[in-house]
């Protein structure tokens, strides 16, 4: 069975640009969450989507947005990129909105 898949695996962007990251959850999972992991730290919660609706949002600016599609895949968008947005962006899927989360391999975003 395929796990959580994220694309792309690596990305380099320039300050001020916009980026879209993609995530496909485990088959049958209806919830997708996004986390940001800065080097040397634990992941920080950004969003959770369940049944295509935003269920929770972490302490991130409005430059960060996300959505979930009818097939439960998800996109994370970040506008007006800053150097500090450089991080590993992780997607996690779970069966429901309240169950254990399984992570993808992440997208490594570098902003220069």
Partner 1 sequence: GESVGLHLPTLSVQEGDNSIINCAYSNSASDYFIWYKQESGKGPQFIIDIRSNMDKRQGQRVTVLLNKTVKHLSLQIAATQPGDSAVYFCAETKNDYKLSFGAGTTVTVRA
Binding residues for partner 1, rule: CB under 8 A, are 4, 31, 33, 35, 40-45, 48, 50, 55-56, 58, 90, 92, 97-106
Pick 20 or 105: Cβ nearer partner 1: 105
CB of 17 to partner 1, least distance (A): 24
CB-wise, 73 or 103, nearer to partner 1?
A: 103
Give the SS3 label for residue 83. helix
Q: What's the closest the beta carbon of residue 1 comes to partner 1, in angstroms? A: 14
Do the beta carbons of residue 108 and residue 6 sit within 8 Å?
no
Burial zone of 53 (CB within 10 Å; 0-12 exposed, 13-18 middle, 19+ buried): exposed
* Nearest residue (CB) to partner 1, 15 versus 53: 53
- In terms of C-beta density within 10 A (0-12 exposed, 13-18 middle, 19 or more buried), how is residue 60 classed? middle
* Nearest to 76, CA basis, from 41, 110, 106, 112: 106
What is the rounded CA–CA span in Å between residue 24 and residue 15?
27
Comparing CB distances to partner 1, the nearer of 19 and 46 is: 46
Shortest Cβ distance from residue 62 to partner 1 (Å)?
18
Please report how close the Cβ of residue 71 comes to partner 1 at its closest, in angstroms: 20
């Amino acid at each position: 069975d395929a796990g959580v898949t994220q694309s792309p695996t690596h990305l380099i962007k320039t300050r001020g640009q916009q980026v879209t990251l993609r995530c496909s959850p485990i088959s049958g999972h209806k919830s997708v969450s996004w986390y940001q992991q800065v080097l040397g730290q634990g992941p920080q919660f950004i969003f959770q989507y369940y049944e295509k609706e935003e269920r929770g949002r972490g302490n991130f600016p409005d430059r960060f947005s996300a959505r979930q599609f009818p097939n439960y895949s998800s996109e994370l968008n970040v506008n007006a990129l800053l150097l500090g947005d450089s991080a590993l962006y992780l997607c996690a899927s779970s069966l429901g909105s309240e169950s254990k989360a399984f992570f993808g391999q992440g997208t490594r975003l570098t902003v220069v």
